[in-house]
Structure 1
Amino acid sequence: MMKYSKNKRNWLIGISLMGLAALGVFKLFFDPSTTFPVSDYYEYDKAIPLKDTTHIILDTTDYQMFSISYTSIHDQRVNGLLSIPKSSSKPLPTIILMHGLGDHKAVDYVAYGNELFLKNGYAVLRIDISAHGDREKDFYDFDLTGPNKYWTRNIVSQTVFDLRRAIDLIETKPELDPGKIGYYGISLGGIIGSIFCSVDDRVKVPVLALAGGQLNLLYGKQAATKEVKDFLGIIEPLNFIADISPRPLLMLNAKNDEIVPPIMSKLLYRKAKKEKEIIWYDAKHRDAPLDIIFGDGLDWFNQYL
């Protein structure tokens, strides 16, 4: 687990939303729109070599698992796990599966999703969010409002680049179908995914679990200022989510989420365009039932991917 402070155990805890229940009020006072073309920020030079490596680490009767690594933007080295089922015909549809804040690519709930998708004929690629897992070095409080706010923002933006390069890697693998790529992101992985899937249309089917938008609410009375909105512009999900359309978007959220307040999920869903669907679970952020929340994502992939 990452060593973030108890006061910042999750960067969205403590947001006060009392008296702002009407969505029209949010739109009036907290419109995150910006004149800067934020999607252009995530363009990059695809000609930069991946310098990728692939090593088999597990070979079972049902699947093979490989340790992979590649070079991302800003000279970042990314490590991942690629699992490929043996029984399915190739090239295979691939799910990029991402964890939440403070976790890593092999954490238990991600391992659960990996196994489920594998059993149903999908290859699965998992990487660590920037500064997480194998990529953890010096770590500071993950906090968009404090003295480490630029470092925190960079974790989100860097991971978007890393995911785009992950697709570049998928395109080099003959056993994987580059025309059938899905994304399943959980919590921070879902928030990052709302940006990534918007700027990269090679993702054909996005599933965002326990995610939301309107990040400027973290700033309380300063939420509506231009300074705050400009700072958050390149990582604000509401600035991107509409560009997923017309690809089919599924959002999976908890009615009693204490980490990502449901109103933030509703705002993100409202900003998205069709094709879209949202499913609500009678649960909190950390106790959403894995079999159901991953099962609903699997059904969405089976339908559209």
Structure 2
Amino acid sequence: MTNKMSEEIQHHLDSLETKGHELVIESHILTDRQVPVLLCYPKGATKLPVVFLNHGTTGDATSMLPIGLPLAQAGFFTVLVDARFHGRRRLEHFNETFFNRAMYKRLYLQMLLDTVDDISAIIDDLQMDERADAERVGISGISQGGFVSFVAITREKRIKAAAPLVASPDLTDTWGHSLPFQELESDLQEEILRHSPLRNYEVIPPVALLVQNGNADPVVPVGGVRKLNEYLKELYKEMPERYRYIEYDGRGHETVYEGSERPNIMREEVIDWFRRFLHSADGAGIFDKNE
């Protein structure tokens, strides 16, 4: 663990109310895919539900500590992942390479698919880890990490609950760094359409899915989640408690609403969602789910 990473972790620990639970934070390179992660969990963890957390573009695993630590405190075994091309495996000349307009969509798709495959490999390894229950797996992420979450629930069926934040299931959307979809090479268009969660929405149920977006987001438009909402309302009509879409009026590409009565409302909703759908009836491990 680098000094910078240690300082970042300590900063977040210092700002966290511990509620008497001692947390363990470990830095590892996992699986034969060499995936850099931070593991956060309460001391004495036994068969706790697992939550994968995924950061935004240009970020790294440490940027998910503000939600990873409270989740660990709430009784989850949290896995904070460095996405492909990011963090401890950051591309050389990152901005010039990753944000190259002609290459961005291709690299972005590769990043999404490879990161989801990394997560699948970690789930495989966690089958043998007594601290974690690999039968109860959730996933969340912010912005790019939310895109990872959407893709993951269409490809990895062991994920039981998901809570993407300020993200979209529509991979055809044009973002500031990329060419318009219709200007991309035909093979790339086909690949994007094949893997876009919006085109694969029928495989999402029965995942317990919570989606949260601001409707004034200039970075990730809400069009994609609104379309998905129309599709999923029908698919979840026999189990409506397992799907929820929250749209925050006037909010942009942010997950903390400074100055509001509940600045961390998005994070609180995520934790409550995973408590509801990943904790067992008896409270799971050493924690009571209503604590």
- The alignment's TM-score, normalised by the length of structure 2, stands at 0.74
* Residue 149 to residue 173, structure 1, CA distance change in 2 (3 Å): same
Spell out the pairing of 1:28-43 with structure 2 (5 A cutoff). none
Shift of 1:143: 4.9
Contact 2:51 2:76 in 1 (8 A): yes
Specify which of 52, 62, 86 is matched with residue 132 of structure 1: 86
Unaligned stretches of 5+ in structure 1?
A: 1-56
Which residue identity does 2:167 align to in structure 1?
Answer: A
Distance (whole Å) between structure 2 residues aligned to residue 192 and residue 234 of structure 1: 15
Hey, what does 1:5 align to over in structure 2?
A: none
Hey, what does 1:169 align to over in structure 2?
A: 125
- How many residues matched? 243
Shift of 1:141: 4.2
Shift of 1:224: 10
- For 1:286, what is the secondary structure of its paired residue? coil
Which residue identity does 2:161 align to in structure 1?
Answer: V
Unaligned stretches of 5+ in structure 2?
A: 1-8, 237-241, 258-262, 279-291
Hey, what does 1:78 align to over in structure 2?
A: 35
Shift of 1:287: 5.3
Contact 2:154 2:197 in 1 (8 A): no
Which residue identity does 1:245 align to in structure 2?
Answer: P
Specify which of 173, 182, 196 is matched with residue 152 of structure 2: 196
Shift of 1:229: 3.3
Contact 1:222 1:228 in 2 (8 A): no
Greater alpha carbon shift after TM alignment, 189-198 vs 287-296: 287-296
Distance (whole Å) between structure 2 residues aligned to residue 147 and residue 106 of structure 1: 27
Contact 1:254 1:280 in 2 (8 A): yes
* Residue 155 to residue 231, structure 1, CA distance change in 2 (3 Å): same
Shift of 1:147: 3.7
Kindly provide the CA deviation profile for residues 199-251 of structure 1, in whole angstroms up to 9, marking residues without a partner as x.
Answer: 11211111111111333242548279965530313442213333120121110
Distance (whole Å) between structure 2 residues aligned to residue 226 and residue 193 of structure 1: 26
Distance (whole Å) between structure 2 residues aligned to residue 253 and residue 131 of structure 1: 25
- The alignment's TM-score, normalised by the length of structure 1, stands at 0.71
Greater alpha carbon shift after TM alignment, 163-172 vs 236-245: 236-245
Contact 1:68 1:79 in 2 (8 A): yes
Tell whether 2:73 aligns with 1:119: yes
Contact 2:41 2:73 in 1 (8 A): no
Q: Percent identity?
A: 24
Hey, what does 1:301 align to over in structure 2?
A: 274
Shift of 1:188: 0.8
Hey, what does 2:254 align to over in structure 1?
A: 286
Shift of 1:102: 0.9
Greater alpha carbon shift after TM alignment, 221-230 vs 244-253: 221-230
Contact 2:106 2:188 in 1 (8 A): no
Tell whether 2:245 aligns with 1:245: no
Distance (whole Å) between structure 2 residues aligned to residue 255 and residue 224 of structure 1: 27
Distance (whole Å) between structure 2 residues aligned to residue 247 and residue 281 of structure 1: 23
Kindly provide the CA deviation profile for residues 124-174 of structure 1, in whole angstroms up to 9, marking residues without a partner as x.
Answer: 111101010101132244358514543332112111111111211221211
Which residue identity does 1:137 align to in structure 2?
Answer: L
Contact 2:213 2:248 in 1 (8 A): yes
* Residue 257 to residue 149, structure 1, CA distance change in 2 (3 Å): closer
- For 1:192, what is the secondary structure of its paired residue? helix
Distance (whole Å) between structure 2 residues aligned to residue 114 and residue 231 of structure 1: 32
Distance (whole Å) between structure 2 residues aligned to residue 183 and residue 79 of structure 1: 17
Hey, what does 1:206 align to over in structure 2?
A: 162
Distance (whole Å) between structure 1 residues aligned to residue 255 and residue 49 of structure 2: 29
Hey, what does 2:216 align to over in structure 1?
A: 256
Hey, what does 2:182 align to over in structure 1?
A: 222
Distance (whole Å) between structure 2 residues aligned to residue 259 and residue 173 of structure 1: 38
Which residue identity does 2:77 align to in structure 1?
Answer: A
